[in-house]
Structure 1
Amino acid sequence: MSAAPEILLLALLLDAALGEPAWLWSRLPHPAVLMGRAIGWADRRFNRGGQRRLRGALALAGLTSVAIALGWAIQALLPGRLADIVLVAILLAQRSLVEHVAAVAAGLRQSLEAGRRAVSMIVGRDTDGMDEPAVARAAIESAAENLSDGVVAPAVWFLVGGLPGVLAYKLVNTADSMIGHRTPRHEAFGWAAARLDDVMNWIPARLTGALILLSHGEPRGWAAVAREARQHRSPNAGWPEAAMARCLDTALSGPRSYDGAQRDFPYIHPTGDRFPDARSVDRAVTALWRSWVGLALATGLILLLS
């Protein structure tokens, strides 16, 4: 584990430079795609009959065990740092997140419909009836939440558990995104995925909030972020969103529609700008890079102290 900070730092740099090249992933299935296929198979195979909560927990335990075993096997069969650097870079999502969020700003500058199409690629809410502020707000919220889920959390779990740790995290996070919803089909079967994802993201989400604040020179905003994060519907997403809202001085969360049903969530940082636009999304992209620099510097500090 002594080499983990060095591997992570190089993986962060590699991901930031290359992202997810289309020429590669158009020919090979991305690890996240393979995880999604495995979770989909488990959903079709085991999400039936009685005791669905138990069935879901056992399925998740089995798939997570496979991910951990695969991590150990890769480290045994491909010793050395290069393989780990490449694999960890693949499991990070900084560059792809930036590109998806920036695409929303570019879309809004073209037309509202183009902005809606771009934001529909990164959010699960209804986008057809969104106005420009709603599109921009959704993009900024996705930037904050996915900075935690797609960059900081994988980094933390690699430092904690090496390649097996980050693969286990990605499996659980993918499962939560697919089956961890309170729907008639998945409320019981996906219960374990949703709860374990909450646990595994508890520390990374708060670290992400702190990282956003520190990278913007706003450490004194922590008390306000902590207060507003607790009002969020998610035990974790509120922390990076509240920090992003404060640093951009933009009101986030608020009313939105899911599957045709309007949900009246409270605003986070309600005194901030309630009419964000493409320029606001541009500032969120800048915030992502500033936070990434902070994460890279923190990793370098860990390396120096290890």
Structure 2
Amino acid sequence: MSWRPDLDPEPGDRKSCEALALVIVPRARDVGNFEVRRALPQARRRMVGPFIFLDQMGPAQMAPGTGMDVAPHPHIGLATVTYLFDGTIMHRDSEGHVQEILPGAMNLMTAGRGIAHSERTPDLPRKSGQRVGGMQSWVALPRALEETAPTFQHYAAENLPVVTDHGLTARVIAGDAFGKRSPVTTLSDWFYVDLILDAGKSAPLDPDYEERAIYIVSGAIEIAGETFEAPQLLVFRPGDRITIKAISPARMMLLGGATLEGKRYIWWNFVSSSRERIEQAKEDWAQGRFKPVPDETELTPLPEA
């Protein structure tokens, strides 16, 4: 997914109960065939742990003959996480990986010193039409590993741990949660969980990680007597034990991790602790120095702004 560098504050930002540091109402953006809601980055909060970008994609119903077509574009200094609730996306990257992403799977592409990839609707769902929705997030890399070699991991839904308990379903996408550990290898300490609660059901958000947030995908939840409805990103202070109660059937993403050392700059699809490195990446993409994505002829141009 490609990002444009606008970091305007959101008019709905506020904070509520004592455990909360900030509540962010994401801004909706039209990206062609569907809408995204962007929660990170924004002016009052750039990161939660290493998470530096968080989009909710859709949900959208794509008509027969239409689909997603994100042409090859570059990344440095981050890892992309694509996680779908509905639909399917075909991933292709400049390291030669080709992977169809299905709902519930973990697709983790570590850009490191540089990678390019495309995201498109596969042929069959493009022909028949499909409902598509999910989360697109970026995790900034530790400073010492920003120039690591590009890598790719993919875990099907059935290979990720799932906890179920009378109206609670939690898939542990990365890190540790609900007594389970994801098999996904991460370069820093972070977690990511897809949590679904029936109305009236409760779940904990333990203080195991330094920074934590809840992105409410659908429904409404209650925390410390306050009600929050989708779509909102709730950012919590360190150390507090949180109890989440669903007011209506609710789906949410639990996320966070250890704070990275030092500041990170973000411009378009590039993340780095160095402004000069981002300038170099801009020049490299403009001059065609990134390795090409096999079987792709289009390129996403460098933004003018």
TM-score tier after normalising by the smaller chain length: under 0.3
Higher relative contact order (CA 8 A, sep 6+): 1
Could you state the TM-score of these two structures normalised by the residue count of structure 1?
A: 0.27
Which one has a larger percent helix, Structure 1 or Structure 2? 1
Could you state the TM-score of these two structures normalised by the residue count of structure 2?
A: 0.27
Which one has a larger percent strand, Structure 1 or Structure 2? 2
